[in-house]
Copies of this chain bind each other. A is one copy, B any other.
Amino acid sequence: MRLQHATWQEVEAYLRRETGIIVPIGSTEQHGPNGLVGTDAICPETIAWELGERHGVLVAPTQNLGMAQHHLAFPGTISLRPSTLLAVLRDTVTSLARHGFTHVFFLNGHGGNIATLSAAFAEIYAERSLGYGSQPASRLNLTTCNWFAGPRVRELAESLYGEAEGTHATASEVALSWFARPEAVKQVEMSPRIAPRGSAQCDADEFRRRFPDGRMGSDPTLASVEHGQRFLEAGVDDAWETYRAFIQAG
């Protein structure tokens, strides 16, 4: 069930049954010559919607902007500063907790968000631990699930691309986004075939010097719509397994 398509009474009814919710979170950033600027949002959103349909879990609207400062030297990238994203996450969780949600599961499509998600969880918990705000009796459970890091997805990427998978504008995420948006598939030649590897821990100008066409260690020309469908299946299975464990852990 998508929150955007529900009425408040339907949400109220859902909360009488279960109190978990999935929040897809991505980024709006360059993904190399054939990858979409929206890749990191489209991938977890697609998996989350499928999860919502198959398993009846409520799915919040996608957080389309993430922490992408290192990609800002490529046109189209929009980045929140970590402090801004932290505030967004805090308000999101506080709103949900007010309604009685006890488990907020961020299904994440962007490595650059992981640290800020974790810092935001700590900021939210710290308000409780330091005694600010009113203290709801119920527990609050927060977690990040990176769709691209699940065991089935990792295995599939390894078997399809090996070393050419890379770490940004990866073959697997390009494939999944193409399956979700077949009208946006692009065939572009790239050179070198496999992009240089390296660290993204730097500012935007330095990042572009290190990674001239935006890819990091990947050959996304290997991607295909058909692969994308398999990544969707793998991603849904990985995420569902993680979600259930999250709910059961309590």
Contacts and interface: CB of A to CB of B under 8 A. Distances in A.
Interface stretch (A127-135, A148-156, A157-165, A233-241): A127-135
A134 to B, nearest CB: 5
Given A42-B4, A119-B86, A201 B69 contact: no
A32 interface: yes
A78 interface: yes
Interface string A115-147: 111111111011111111111100111110000
A191 interface: no
A3 interface: yes
Contacts of A32: 7-8
Contacts of A37: 3-8, 11
A130 B91 contact: yes
A130 B95 contact: yes
A2 B39 CA distance: 12
A75 B112 CA distance: 31
A41 interface: yes
A183 B249 CA distance: 35
Contacts of A116: 115, 119, 122
Interface residues of A, number: 100
Contacts of A44: none
Nearest to A183: B5
Contacts of A141: 201-202
B38 A65 contact: no
Given A41-B61, A99-B75, A81 B126 contact: yes
Interface in A1-42: 2-12, 15, 28, 30-38, 41-42
22 contacts: A4-B64, A5-B183, A6-B36, A6-B37, A8-B214, A9-B33, A11-B75, A11-B76, A65-B92, A75-B100, A80-B92, A81-B127, A81-B130, A83-B83, A83-B87, A83-B123, A84-B84, A91-B130, A94-B130, A115-B119, A121-B201, A125-B203
Interface of A: 2-12, 15, 28, 30-38, 41-42, 60-65, 67, 69-70, 72-84, 86-88, 90-92, 94-96, 98-100, 112, 114-123, 125-136, 139-143, 181, 183-184, 186, 188, 199, 201-206, 214, 249
